[in-house]
């Protein structure tokens, strides 16, 4: 199970508590998380399932690189941080 943590700034729009979710790649893990919190999906991903332009995701401190397919590998025990990019101003 990976642990998913969200930026504090998203919480005033949609509560996103830290949770654990299963999966060996980022897409699967996030899908599991959003299945329990569907409204949060659109705050992180666009309607094509890509990471929003001004959001970034880190897996164990490394920035996820595949922003379209979300194929970056996730290990059991990984910590995933979903945060804002400074580019969004």
- What are the angstrom distances between the C-alpha of 49 and each of 22, 43, 89? 18, 11, 22
Nearer to other proteins, 5 or 52 (CB): 52
Question: Residue numbers of the site for other proteins (CB under 8 A)?
Answer: 9-10, 13, 39, 42-44, 46-48, 50, 52, 54-55, 84-85, 88-89
Task: Output the smallest distance, CB 38 to other proteins, in A.
Answer: 12
Please tell me the chain's helix, strand, coil percentages from 3-state DSSP, rounded to the nearest 5: 25, 30, 45
Task: Output the smallest distance, CB 63 to other proteins, in A.
Answer: 16
Give me 69's structure tokens: 């397919």
């Amino acid at each position: 199970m990976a642990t998913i943590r969200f930026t504090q700034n998203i919480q005033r729009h949609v509560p996103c508590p830290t949770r654990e979710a299963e999966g060996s790649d980022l897409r699967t893990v996030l899908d599991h998380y959003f299945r329990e919190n569907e409204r949060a999906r659109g705050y992180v991903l666009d309607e094509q399932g890509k990471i929003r332009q001004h959001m970034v995701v880190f897996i164990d401190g490394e920035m996820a690189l595949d922003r379209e397919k979300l194929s970056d590998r996730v290990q059991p025990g990984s910590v995933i941080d979903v945060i804002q990019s400074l580019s969004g101003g």
